[in-house]
Amino acid sequence: MSVSSAQPEMTQSETSQSEITQAEIAAEQARVSTLYDRLDHLRRQAEEQLASTIRAATSDTDQGVRERQHFAERLAQRAAALTAAERGLVIGRLDTDTGDRLYLGRIGMADDDAEPMLIDWRAPVAAAFYRATPAERLGIRRRRHLHLRQREVIGIDDDVLDFTAVDGDGQLAGEAALLNALRQARTGRMADIVATIQAEQDKIIRSGLSGILVVEGGPGTGKTVVALHRAAYLLYTHRDRLADKGILVIGPNRTFLRYVEQVLPGLGETDVVLGSIGDLYPPLRTAAVDPPATAMIKGDPRMVDLVAAAIVDHQRYPEDGLTVRVGDEEHSLDADFCRTLRDRARERAAQLQLPHNRVRPFVVERLLDELVGRELDRLEKMIDEVDVPELIEGEEDLDLRGFLDPKGMRANLAQSEAFSRAADLIWPELTPEGLLTELYTDADFRNRVATGLTPAERDSLTRPEPVEEPWTISDVPLLDELAELLGPAQELLDREAAEQRRAQAQRDSESLELDLAAAEAAELALEYADEDHGEILIEGSEVLSRYYDEGIIEPLADRARRDREWAYGHVIVDEAQELSPMAWRMLARRCPTGSMTAVGDLAQAAAPDSPQSWAAALDPVAAGRWRREALTVSYRSTGPILEYANGILAAAGSDATAPRAARPDGDEPWTSTATDLVRELPERLAGERDLIGEGNVAVITTPDRVDDCLALARSAFPEAASFADEDFLEAPVAVLTPEQSKGLEFDSVIIVAPDEIRAAGPRGHADLYVAATRPTRRLGLLQLP
């Protein structure tokens, strides 16, 4: 049974509102005010502690400085989390059978005697807030949602759970609060759902850390938002295991990542890197895509053998042997010698599991041994033949061997370009970029190494020259695979070592300046903290950036982002149905513990080679280590919209069905045939904007029609934006393709040329299904004659 206080925009429940008195709101206000006072106190304390830690970080040992920086970073995060908790600090209250009243919030707080005042939503006891139903009360008599506007209590929703006659089947927890949240106009940014998490979602959020958890569910079931809350939960519950490693969240593109980027900082969590597959080979960041047929081959598991073969192909030997000048003399090494050396190097690589470039020093040393040895033999022989007394009068005892300098000879030879070229003929230093370029541009090389591909498949790898942006998203897993097999090139290692020496020297000379900057930043932060007090709501991440901008603390996320080999504690993959087998392999390398959450919907998959099942996607990288959970209720779209979407699946003969709607009622989708799109689209857009009021409208159409539709939309709404525009997410009218609309949502959607979307390729119906499930309130189909 649900009871609501008098909020004009909320559903009126069947029970009389008068039961909730103003006195009760006043009592909650008193409690909430006390909790905000405590928040202010703790925040001030954290900022002061942080400021003094930073101030103290002078003239210490390296180890001491590092430890203090680490401590300062933790304190900065705590300050950020306390700041982020300002908005909607208290979520609600649980009244238990034993008479306790537990207040739940975005953050846990205790009083000076360590007595809990507010329980973090992620704490084990808070689970009952999300899971208790009248049928399964979990010791809870009443669940109360508190609605706050800034620090003021403006409403209360009560779920009375000990009302035994209520049937709990399909019960939505905190229904009034939930429906209120779902009816809100969209802002273009995903909001957190801490106050209204549903039981099936809570189970997923709190699922254990190990293995891969696959969360499947139809559009709008909360897969993305649940995955993000799971990240916050895991960082809270397994802080010891995740704190120094962080969590990687992979999304389909940058716009999507911008759409969700505020959720975790808003929950007080900053040790998270958001990126897409194109960002995982730093410093490269690419959003370029290949034609589908090429992307398919580049993502194919056969590429594993192909890239390995590309390396082996370079481990050659010159069939005529090789000749190298040492000093004044040329020495020849025959083919047998070269082949044996190459074979021994391969054996060494296999035995010691060394990447290719790490074996080059072995080859170089053996070549030097041989060449210097031969030259010494030659010189010694010459010395034996020379009659010294005859040569230099009075130096009868002189031994010319003493003038030989094998070390110097070796060093000179090692540095000579001719020697490097000779070593390259047997074991060249290779880079991932060089090797892939060769593969895409040299047909002979490709034919030698791509024996597992058909001629047409090989051709699809050809890259036209010259190229503006050489690397695509599908190249990134290949570059990464090659980087693993090759290891860093010596040149790169030397550069890195030099860089480190330079950085250390700079640190030493600048430490005084940094200390001064630190002290200033600390003072500044305290001043800000005073100003922010309650009134100005700032993001938690801003608190951190004050320190980061000064270079005093480097956030974990920044360190992780620029390190290709960073080992994350957990990886979350959104739109997981779109990942290629090669991309899965790369992600598995990023997460040695194998702890991942993959969320997706096979029915929404766009690629023709998308996996038929989760087993097909995951068994190759994690056989026996993945489990599955499902979400069944759509919180985005209304019943009539989902019914239309179901029709799309049924017409395509798909087994999948759209999820059940949390809001069964709503406007019926409209259909119209536009004989004059130039007139009709702007008119329809204006009509939708009037109907929805605050929110946003999207036009979704085929890639070919996007430009025309954008021009038409702009004729009525100059602020209309395309997917590439910076302000796309904030725009009141957006124009995009089904592919680009993945993961996003809008209050109203007009699909232009739905039949063309459906007819475009074997997965056209999936694109239409994605487009039709973007709206929260209204859907229109504008057919073209």
**Measured distance CA(485)–CA(686) in Å, rounded:** 57
Return the structure tokens found at 373: 């040895």
Q: Which is nearer to ligand ATP, 197 or 280 (CB)?
A: 197
Kindly state the smallest distance separating residue 132's Cβ from ligand ATP, in Å.
Answer: 15
11 is in an annotated binding site: no
Q: Write out the H or E segment, with its range, that includes residue 104.
A: strand 101-105
Q: Which is nearer to ligand ATP, 743 or 754 (CB)?
A: 743
Kindly state the smallest distance separating residue 53's Cβ from ligand ATP, in Å.
Answer: 37
Kindly state the smallest distance separating residue 745's Cβ from ligand ATP, in Å.
Answer: 6
Hunting for tokens 């009443």 — which residue is that? 142
DSSP state of 669: P
217 is in an annotated binding site: yes
Q: Which is nearer to ligand ATP, 215 or 311 (CB)?
A: 215
Q: Which is nearer to ligand ATP, 196 or 357 (CB)?
A: 196
With H, G, I as helix, E, B as strand and everything else as coil, classify residue 100. Answer: coil
Buried b or exposed e, range 292-331, using 16+ CB within 10 angstroms: eebbbbbbbeebbebbeebbeebbebeeeebebebeeeeb
Residue 145: name the closest of 83, 103, 98 by CA: 103
With H, G, I as helix, E, B as strand and everything else as coil, classify residue 689. Answer: helix
Residues forming the site for ligand ATP (CB under 6 A):
178, 181-182, 190-191, 193, 196-198, 201, 217, 219-225, 601, 635-636, 743, 745, 773
Q: Which is nearer to ligand ATP, 201 or 276 (CB)?
A: 201
Q: Which is nearer to ligand ATP, 181 or 519 (CB)?
A: 181
Kindly state the smallest distance separating residue 750's Cβ from ligand ATP, in Å.
Answer: 18
58 is in an annotated binding site: no
Kindly state the smallest distance separating residue 717's Cβ from ligand ATP, in Å.
Answer: 23
Q: Which is nearer to ligand ATP, 179 or 248 (CB)?
A: 179
**Measured distance CA(759)–CA(623) in Å, rounded:** 36
Kindly state the smallest distance separating residue 429's Cβ from ligand ATP, in Å.
Answer: 44
CA atoms within 13 A on the CB side of 134: 19
- Number of neighbours of residue 222 by Cβ within 10 angstroms: 26
220 is in an annotated binding site: yes
221 is in an annotated binding site: yes
Q: Which residues 6+ apart lie within 8 Å of 735 measured at CB?
A: 698, 699, 701, 706, 709, 710, 713, 720, 721, 722, 723
581 is in an annotated binding site: no
Q: Which is nearer to ligand ATP, 2 or 286 (CB)?
A: 2
Residue 476: name the closest of 488, 484, 468 by CA: 484
In this structure, the dihedral spanned by the alpha carbons of residues 25, 26, 28 and 32, taken in order and rounded to 10 degrees, is: 130
Residue 158: name the closest of 32, 16, 29, 34 by CA: 16
270 is in an annotated binding site: no
Kindly state the smallest distance separating residue 418's Cβ from ligand ATP, in Å.
Answer: 59
Kindly state the smallest distance separating residue 641's Cβ from ligand ATP, in Å.
Answer: 12
Q: Which residue type, as a one-letter code, is found at position 58?
A: T
Q: Is the peptide bond before 466 cis (omega within 30 degrees of 0)?
A: yes
**Measured distance CA(479)–CA(440) in Å, rounded:** 13
Residue 525: name the closest of 512, 538, 510, 511 by CA: 538
Q: Which is nearer to ligand ATP, 184 or 672 (CB)?
A: 184
222 is in an annotated binding site: yes
**Measured distance CA(297)–CA(459) in Å, rounded:** 10
Hunting for tokens 């709501």 — which residue is that? 537
Kindly state the smallest distance separating residue 182's Cβ from ligand ATP, in Å.
Answer: 6
What residue numbers does the annotated binding site cover? 217-224
Binding residues for ATP: 217-224
